[in-house]
Chains A and B, each alone.
Chain A
Amino acid sequence: MMNADNTPRPPYATYNEWYANQDRARLIAKSKEAENIFRKTGITFAVYGHADSAEKLIPFDLIPRIISAREWRRLAQGIEQRVLALNAFLDDIYHKQEIIKAGRIPRELIEKNDAFLPQMVGMRPPGGVYTHIVGTDIVRTGEDQFYVLEDNARTPSGVSYMLENRETMMQMFPELFYQNRVQPVENYPYLLRHSLAAVAPPGCEGKPRVAVLTPGIYNSAYYEHAFLADMMGVELVEGSDLRVIDGKVRMRTTRGYEAIDVLYRRVDDDYLDPLTFKPESALGIPGIMDVYRAGNITIANAPGTGICDDKAIYSYMPEIVEFYTGRKALLENVPTWRCSEPSSLQYVLDNLADLVVKEVHGSGGYGMLVGPTASKKERALFADKLKARPSNYIAQPTLSLSTVPIMVNKGIAPRHVDLRPYVLVSDKVQIIPGGLTRVALKAGSLVVNSSQGGGTKDTWVLED
């Protein structure tokens, strides 16, 4: 937020002036009010493994994170390039595999990867789009230095927080939105619905029928599933509502079975179709993959997109972007050591205290080691795991992440943040100006995941 000489960075100037005139007691009261709004609305998530805390609130910090129009344009170009490359990569991997033939990516990395779905080979989804909704995790380390941490091309979550955070800010501090020209995010559900409808199967007659598929009320992101369905004005369905009849996926309504053309699924690949994947899955729809292969339904995101946001693939993203777009990647990758390579493994073991080590298939901040903050004992234990299954891990340097201010007991204090902008892909790429800013609430911590005690902030992209 501040320059080195303690003057506010330009996008924060107006806000800073406002903040200086605020009564602290009022802000604390507002902070409580925000919490009440979230609790009342039921904006909760579940943390698995906590029996008692079935539903939790994600802490909300009321100081917005502000990005200038110029900064955003740069980011958006980089994200668009990356998302187009991801889709081209998926199409290639499930068809001709030119990138492997060109020797840019090792074959076994793809074909021995659990995220690679042989069932998708030769299958081209309607509209040629594989990953319709992407949440690119980005961190900033300097004025013009952005890194992509993860691509999240399967079922990125959190967009409901982006929308509710904005809604809450506008309710609590309307004056801020007169003083600052903030680009809107609230049309996201509208854009999402149109984006999904635009990739309906070619044989779809009339207006495409869209539905959101949820695992149900016990899923950690259920609130978001219901929220998005509600905001889009489409049905929220569970596997038990759906059945394949006459070559179409149909939902059981009070008037009989009605066809669905586009399914925005928030159920993992493995659980989608018990006939094709996990036979014991009760969440899926038997036979949906046959309907899909026959081109009679769009599944968003397509099954098998996990192969492009796998952490082992991640380290090849600069090559992937260049291979498909013919240009150098605009956004940088964090340097990554693949522990499957012996020399890298040795380096990682020697420098464990300075590195972040992640599981290749992990998510949500589980099963990772943050070297600099871990104890000696934790590092030693992790080193054993690493040696036992090197190919299960990658390592990255700890970046000096940018900080933004949050409200704490004694005023404000800097905390590390990341940013997840949301991207919609159909016949065009649309990037919502802003996204979800996640913030580590503990001083010095680099872990921003909500399951690990992170919070969120409203994210403003200013107009020029």
Chain B
Amino acid sequence: MLGRTANGLYWMFRYIERAENSARLVDAGLRMSLTRSHLGEDNWESVLQSSGVIDIYEQRYESATSADAVDFLLRETTNPSSVLSCIEAARSNARMVRTALTRETWEAVNECYLDLKSMLARRVKAADLPEVIDAIKRKTGLIRGAFHGTMLRNDLFNFSRIGTFIERADNTARILDVKYYVLLPAVSQVGTAIDNVQWESILRSVSAHRSYGWVYEAEYKAANIADFLILNGRMPRSLAYCYDKINSNLGYLEREYGERHNAHDTSGNTLKSLRNCSIKDVMDQGLHEYIETFITQNNRLSQEISDGYRFY
């Protein structure tokens, strides 16, 4: 397959993942402002930070009101991570790699784009937000479904999956990076109302507030939340899960091509460290430092994949 095609697939799936992530952050933010109205601007500032777009936001707006922040995250075209920007970029990449996609996958992307473009053509009224966010999740879900149901399990599939999980790992790590301090033992007073609010917000941003309850018996503890998002191999948005997937997909490529790149070592080492350490180790090393290092490594891996497989 062409290097450019691998690149297009990789980014198409990164953008789809990012669109979903932005929608999820809006969802969590809305939920928080509904139930914890006293949080006000702080709430939306931290949402914008998690999305990594607070700087661009502040160039346009003076304060982080709910309406402006939501609009910025959903439809602002100068915000490269807004849902609309991501869907447009995903569709443009899909058009470029049209021949690599099954008809079903392409049509799901195209319909997602056409529908969301018209839904997000103007500011969404507060009353319509639940419906719009639901539509974003559903439409991107249809892409994933069509992709899984119809694509050959070959190198095309592997590059798509790697894009998905590199982006997802980045998203989860960013959310942790913004909120790490509420998970530090020194700061958190176990079980206070404030902590509960912050922790719930983190879990909601990764759609994990329910599954957390099942796994940790509904006991909110900072270390457990960190463990869930970083090390738990069954949690589909945890760093460990993402790297398990990245590593196995890179492994398929290695076997199919009979060629090993730097990316394989980087990914293998990251996975090993995620598997072999405990949350106590992470906390001892320093949660903040751990996450920062992870984000840097993740970016490096992305570059190594791009170089190794001749994306450009």
Contacts and interface: CB of A to CB of B under 8 A. Distances in A.
A40 B110 contact: yes
Interface residues of B, number: 24
A98 interface: no
Interface in B74-112: 92, 95-96, 98-99, 103, 106-107, 110-111
Given A40-B111, A238-B4, A240-B4, A254 B95 contact: no
B92 A254 contact: no
Interface in B108-148: 110-111, 114
Contact of A254 (B2, B98, B99, B111): B2
B157 interface: no
B92 A217 contact: yes
Contacts of B58: none
A235 B99 contact: yes
A314 B4 CA distance: 41
Contact of B2 (A216, A217, A226, A235): A235
B6 interface: yes
Contact of A226 (B6, B95, B159): B95
Contacts of B159: 254
A384 interface: no
B193 interface: no
A42 B4 CA distance: 21
B310 interface: yes
B155 interface: yes
Contacts of B4: 238, 240-241, 252
A256 B257 CA distance: 10
A41 interface: yes
A230 B2 contact: no
B1 interface: yes
Given A226-B98, A226-B99, A255-B257, A237 B110 contact: no
Given A235-B2, A238-B4, A254-B155, A40 B92 contact: no
B6 A217 contact: no
B99 A42 contact: no
A145 interface: no
A72 interface: no
A251 interface: yes
Contacts of B309: 254
A191 to B, nearest CB: 19
B98 A236 contact: yes
Given A241-B4, A253-B2, A254-B257, A42 B95 contact: yes
A256 B310 contact: yes
B259 interface: yes
B165 to A, nearest CB: 18
A239 to B, nearest CB: 11
Contacts of B257: 254-255
B259 A255 contact: yes
A222 B95 CA distance: 9
Contacts of B155: 254
Given A217-B96, A240-B4, A253 B310 contact: yes
Most buried by B among A40, A216, A222: A40
Contacts of A229: 99
B149 interface: no
B1 A254 contact: yes
A241 B99 CA distance: 15
B107 A230 contact: no
B1 A230 contact: no
Interface string A219-243: 0001000110110000111101100
A253 B6 CA distance: 9
Nearest to B93: A217
A39 interface: yes
B40 interface: no
Contacts of B96: 216-217
Nearest to A240: B4
Interface string B288-312: 0000000000000000000001100
B213 interface: no
Contact of A236 (B99, B103, B107, B259): B99
Contacts of A240: 4
A226 B98 CA distance: 6
Interface in B153-169: 155, 159
B171 to A, nearest CB: 26
B166 to A, nearest CB: 16
Nearest to B106: A42
B69 to A, nearest CB: 29
A253 B1 contact: yes
Contacts of A253: 1-3, 310
A241 B4 CA distance: 7
B92 A252 contact: no
A44 to B, nearest CB: 10
Contacts of A42: 95, 106-107, 110
Interface in A32-88: 39-42
A256 B259 CA distance: 11
B230 to A, nearest CB: 31
Nearest to B92: A217
A258 to B, nearest CB: 9
A42 B259 CA distance: 37
Contacts of A40: 107, 110-111, 114
Contacts of A236: 98-99
Interface of B: 1-6, 92, 95-96, 98-99, 103, 106-107, 110-111, 114, 155, 159, 253, 257, 259, 309-310
Given A41-B107, A236-B99, A252-B2, 14 more contacts: A40-B110, A41-B103, A226-B98, A226-B99, A229-B99, A230-B99, A235-B2, A236-B98, A238-B4, A241-B4, A253-B1, A253-B310, A254-B1, A254-B310
27 contacts: A39-B114, A40-B111, A41-B103, A41-B107, A42-B95, A42-B110, A217-B92, A217-B95, A217-B96, A226-B99, A227-B98, A235-B1, A235-B99, A236-B98, A236-B99, A238-B4, A241-B2, A241-B3, A241-B4, A251-B2, A252-B310, A253-B1, A253-B3, A254-B2, A254-B6, A254-B159, A255-B259
The 10 A-B pairs with the shortest beta carbon distances in the complex, nearest first, are: A226-B98, A230-B99, A254-B309, A252-B3, A236-B99, A229-B99, A42-B110, A217-B95, A254-B6, A252-B310
